[in-house]
Structure 1
Amino acid sequence: MLLSNMELLATAPGGVAKLRELILTLAVQGKLVPQDPADEPASVLLQKIRAEKDRLIAAKILKREKNEPALSDEELPFELPASWSWVALGEVIDIVRGITFPANQKTKEAAAGRIACLRTSNVQQTIEWDDLLFVDRSFMGREDQLIQHHDIVMSMANSRELVGKVALIEHIPHAEATFGGFLGVLRPRKIDPRYAMAVLRTPYARSLLIDSSSQTTNIANISLTKLRPLQFPLPPATEQLRIVARVEELMRLCDALEAKGQLEAMQHAQLVSTLLGTLTASATPEELADNWQRVAQHYDLLLDRPEAIDALEQTLLQLAVRGVLVPQDPADEPASVLLQKIRAEKDRLIAAGQIKRGKPLAPITDEEKPFALPVGWEWARFGQIASIASNLVSPALHLNKRQVAPDCIEKGTGRLLQKRTVAQAEIVSPNHFFKPGQILYSKIRPSLSKAVLVDFEGLCSADMYPIESMLNSDFLLMYILSRPFLNQVSIAENRVKMPKLNQEALVAFTVSLPPLAEQSRIVARVTELRRLCVDLRQRLAERQSVQARLAEALVQAAA
């Protein structure tokens, strides 16, 4: 059943990862390979391990550990085949903690008397040996703190998500190596280390390790007293070999499915890029209509992934701000007249003392114009058609008003994700006061394109610009979210160390400016098409939900 449904499982959201978990789960429950009545049972293997440990204890090579109490049948995590045994992990696997050393005693370079030392960042799917520390060998308290072939290295102190992560030592590219205090080494006795790895990577073991860890502010710690009693499903020695061979075979199939999925994703992205590229190459609304018909023939194939719908939405914005999305009307008052009216209004406000006169903006050169504009459109500087309405106030005076920060805004969509008051945000530093109709734009990491048009008053983070638009505000927001604006952001970001858009750079950005009447038609058309994108996302999410439920049902049936 597992093999016949592998491709179906792999196509579900997160399917290959779930498939890997299922393979490991079946393996350690004795359901992946058949049992052989001729196998020497695990109870005999356990006797041999205990006899070997008793011999080493008698020879004072090993210390005797406290025996862990056996679990009752009701406490056992799941049922095992008759030839298997439940044992405490500490009975069959030795655990060694890593070395400690002062921070100023480590180097990145090898030297005489120094030994390679693994740390948590080296423990990935496999051990990564290319970024090691080197410490004086004298920090090793015991020879068993030397890394050995087939050791299992475990992250004993890490974030909650990563604590308990394990990797197998398959080779040691240095004469000697040890491991740091945030790591532990697990050495199986008469157990195939690859089988032990399979157990430790199951959802069963991972959840036990995470739940039993002690949590500080940012770090979870696994203690030996919690790790040793971990219930370990022990199969006969010969069955371990069959399990390992089968797991490795199935994991190779998973690798192939994953590679196939990545190739399909890459090919799909190329197809999306090509098809949407025909839309952006359109020079007129009429040409766009013809090209749209060609794209519509591949609609289902094109829009079966969320990233394809995102790309379509960005393409619509590009077309909108280039004047290709809706036809021009010769009767519209041209944008040049709109610019004159904006200039006159700004002069009036300056004369009345309501706004300050800004620095003169340089004329726009031909090199700054990324595309040709339709008749009736004009190029303008951002500072000509909008102003930044800075107004820092004390949050304590506005506790019941709404508060907006970059984390409240969805990347690249102009949607507000979170509603909260100033009091709920628990802010104490000054925030900008904003008014309805303003655009709030995050100047920190501006390439994330976090901007929203608000219809309420409130306070926004000092890391945001409240923007007062002298155009149709919805059109200006679309321009801010579009690729032509983001291209200018990328250039401005590269000029500073921290990803931040300063006011001087923003006001110098170029904006393609349509007649005011056309701005309204563009906004209406984009709004209509973006509703279509929302509908497409909803249908895609429903389809993926069905796939996920089907995959879950198959997993439960297989387990």
Structure 2
Amino acid sequence: MAETKAPNTSEEQLITDHLDIWTTAIEQKSSAGRGSSKKFSLHGIKKLRELILELAVRGKLVPQDPNDEPASVLLERIAAEKAQLVKDKKIKKPKALPEISEEEEPFELPKGWELVRFNDLGEWGAGSTPRRGNIEYYDGSIPWFKSGELNSDYISESEEHISELALKETSVRYNNIGDVLVAMYGATIGKTSILTVRATTNQAVCACTPFNGFKNTFLLMLLKASKSRLIGMGAGGAQPNISREKIINTVIALPPTSEQQRIVAKVDELMSLCDALEVQTENSITAHQTLVEVLLEALLKAPEQGATPEQTAQQFQQNWQRLSEHFDTLFTTTASIDTLKQTILQLAVMGKLVPQNPNDEPAAKLLERIAAEKAQLIKDKKIKKQKPLPEITDEEKLYELPSGWVWSRFGDLFKSFSNGLYKPSKFYTDEGVISLRMYNIQNGYIDFAGAKRVEVEPTELAQFILEPNDLLINRVNSKELVGKTAIIPESEEPLVYESMNMRAKPFIEHLSAQYLNLFMMTKVAQNFISSFAKEAVGQASINQGQVSSIIIPLPPFKEQHRIVAKVDELMALCDQLKARLTDAQTTKLHLTDAIVEQAL
């Protein structure tokens, strides 16, 4: 056994000396939309919690006291208590488990500690589910906990209750106050709680009544520290589970009773510190993102009533200057960069991203030519006559447009809208035509990863073939993704599209398809989509008429191209900045993991 010792100073300092690492090692869950605590994981604090538990169960968190009664004496008393309980027929004689082998010893034990199995420390039993058909079973006062309800260290309120009859006739284990519960099924494996009421559980929960001298709070902590091991023992595919037998066979290190109490107290103290760090970090991230949004929204503000163009330009310049002076400290998270990208798009369609050229042909002339060409196509029976779209009212105009711009209905800019090809998955093949699905539309471009191929008849190919600069729109998808668009690129082979998508064919002789696609990625367009997207069974949908009714700010033709070029340039810079941030963040995550590994 190891010599009696206090924890190393370096081990004690691990927690306090690396606070900057614990609080800044943050893992992004999603880069879409606005930042919130739901879109990042505080990886550093999570690893700190794991480190605290691991140091605790290895005897490295608090000093050993040579005056403590050794754990071996505690085990002798537990064995005597267990024998008496068996003799009194209060518990069944447990099945003898194998001696702990050298291979099972996880680490060198501190003096006074002993290796044991969970089975040695208490009486373990799983619950069950009474027959659902018997209403009397579920009309009672006994709390009946399921694995998903183990959400805190102490629990007392259950969603369901069963009766004394169910308890008797189904032999459901009735657990005592102070018993420790551990979940054994699916995503909840390893979740654990202490009961503060007498209660029972379903079969996905195992309960332990600790023997005298073994603290239930220490067992709770041991189970938390063992969570990854328990998950690793899970079997059963998509919904893994562990058995009572696997839990009770698990080997752990047992300290003296007095040290158990000191360890629990220290862990509680340090977990409270982690709680405070978590709140402080989340508040800091939220405040930072709020500041970014406020400063960026100032750029989008409508000019004050009565302001001259010169005054409006001056106000915009002042807001931009204030932002640019603090650029390095503001755009330090992926969420802030995503907000910047959305602001760039909005500035683009407000005419604030590139200067206007008074020599450009006004957009109103474009609309006249588009209307004339559409009329000729209808006359030549190349497209069907469309129902006229309503005039745009002053109330619909979202902001004042620059000179030369005009508001237009989205539908007036396209030759046609049509839904895609319906082919069940059984028609997918390795040899057919590439068929684009809703999953292939990504942030304004087509992602061919995972694209399927499908056999089509010549008439189907003619009807559903996609051409470069066609706009592909998600017609049916989740609420967040319906209405997303992408431009069809040049392709060496034919492309068709499936029924959950909509194809829109713009008058590319008079319009930039890239500008139309850019507009559909703005918050303005997304708000239009959200306002009429109907949701059913987890899927939202839009139709051709709704998309046609969207109003779009249309610049002169040449300015459309200048806007697209500037947006491409700025988005590339944002992506480079985000890539550097991601690399730096990855380094921090690796550093956090390395600190934990070295500590153990």
Letter in 2 for 1:267: A
- Does residue 470 of structure 2 align to residue 438 of structure 1? yes
- Does residue 361 of structure 2 align to residue 349 of structure 1? no
Letter in 1 for 2:98: P
CA distance in 2, matches of 1:224, 1:343: 74
What secondary structure sits across from 2:142 in the alignment? strand
- Does residue 239 of structure 2 align to residue 209 of structure 1? no
Structure 1 counterpart of 2:202, from 176, 180, 183:
180
1:240 Cα shift?
Answer: 0.5
Distance 1:396 1:139, change over 3 A: same
Residue 86 of structure 2 corresponds to: 57
What secondary structure sits across from 1:550 in the alignment? helix
- Does residue 580 of structure 2 align to residue 536 of structure 1? no
Structure 2 counterpart of 1:325, from 353, 374, 385:
353
Distance 1:359 1:214, change over 3 A: same
Alignment TM-score, normalising by the size of structure 1: 0.90
User: How many equivalent pairs are there?
Assistant: 542
Residue 519 of structure 1 corresponds to: 560
1:517 Cα shift?
Answer: 0.9
What secondary structure sits across from 2:286 in the alignment? helix
- Does residue 122 of structure 2 align to residue 102 of structure 1? no
Superposition pairs of residues 114-129 of structure 1, within 5 angstroms: 114-126=141-153
- Does residue 450 of structure 2 align to residue 420 of structure 1? yes
Distance 1:459 1:148, change over 3 A: farther
- Does residue 494 of structure 2 align to residue 454 of structure 1? no
Distance 1:105 1:556, change over 3 A: same
Residue 521 of structure 2 corresponds to: 481
Residue 9 of structure 1 corresponds to: 22
1:289 Cα shift?
Answer: 4.1
Residue 164 of structure 2 corresponds to: 137
CA distance in 1, matches of 2:558, 2:121: 79
1:494 Cα shift?
Answer: 6.1
Structure 1 counterpart of 2:394, from 359, 366, 383:
366
What secondary structure sits across from 1:264 in the alignment? helix
Distance 1:54 1:435, change over 3 A: farther
CA distance in 2, matches of 1:163, 1:198: 15
Distance 1:391 1:557, change over 3 A: closer
- Does residue 182 of structure 2 align to residue 154 of structure 1? yes
1:552 Cα shift?
Answer: 2.4
**CA displacement 1:291-314 (0-9 Å, x = unmatched):** 322201111111011100000000
Letter in 2 for 1:68: L
1:129 Cα shift?
Answer: 5.6
RMSD: 2.7
Residue 333 of structure 2 corresponds to: 305
CA distance in 1, matches of 2:119, 2:440: 48
CA distance in 2, matches of 1:536, 1:511: 30
Conserved? CA contact 1:451–1:477, under 8 Å: yes
What secondary structure sits across from 1:103 in the alignment? coil
- Does residue 265 of structure 2 align to residue 239 of structure 1? no
Greater alpha carbon shift after TM alignment, 144-153 vs 295-304: 144-153
Conserved? CA contact 1:438–1:467, under 8 Å: yes
Alignment TM-score, normalising by the size of structure 2: 0.84
1:347 Cα shift?
Answer: 2.1
1:515 Cα shift?
Answer: 1.2
What secondary structure sits across from 1:43 in the alignment? helix
1:493 Cα shift?
Answer: 2.8
1:10 Cα shift?
Answer: 2.2
- Does residue 533 of structure 2 align to residue 493 of structure 1? yes
CA distance in 2, matches of 1:551, 1:285: 47
CA distance in 1, matches of 2:561, 2:513: 10
1:393 Cα shift?
Answer: 5.6
CA distance in 2, matches of 1:540, 1:164: 34
1:128 Cα shift?
Answer: 6.0
Letter in 1 for 2:167: M
Greater alpha carbon shift after TM alignment, 489-498 vs 270-279: 489-498
Conserved? CA contact 1:474–1:523, under 8 Å: yes
Structure 2 counterpart of 1:195, from 189, 210, 218:
218
CA distance in 2, matches of 1:409, 1:196: 50
**CA displacement 1:508-537 (0-9 Å, x = unmatched):** 111111111111010011111101100110
Structure 1 counterpart of 2:366, from 326, 338, 344:
338
Gaps of 5+ in 2: 1-12, 27-42, 304-311
Conserved? CA contact 1:382–1:510, under 8 Å: yes
Superposition pairs of residues 247-326 of structure 1, within 5 angstroms: 247-281=267-301, 287-326=315-354
Distance 1:103 1:438, change over 3 A: farther
Residue 93 of structure 1 corresponds to: 122
Gaps of 5+ in 1: none
1:424 Cα shift?
Answer: 10
1:349 Cα shift?
Answer: 2.3
CA distance in 2, matches of 1:179, 1:472: 63
- Does residue 422 of structure 2 align to residue 389 of structure 1? no
CA distance in 1, matches of 2:252, 2:315: 67
Q: What percentage of aligned pairs have identical amino acids?
A: 34
What secondary structure sits across from 1:145 in the alignment? coil
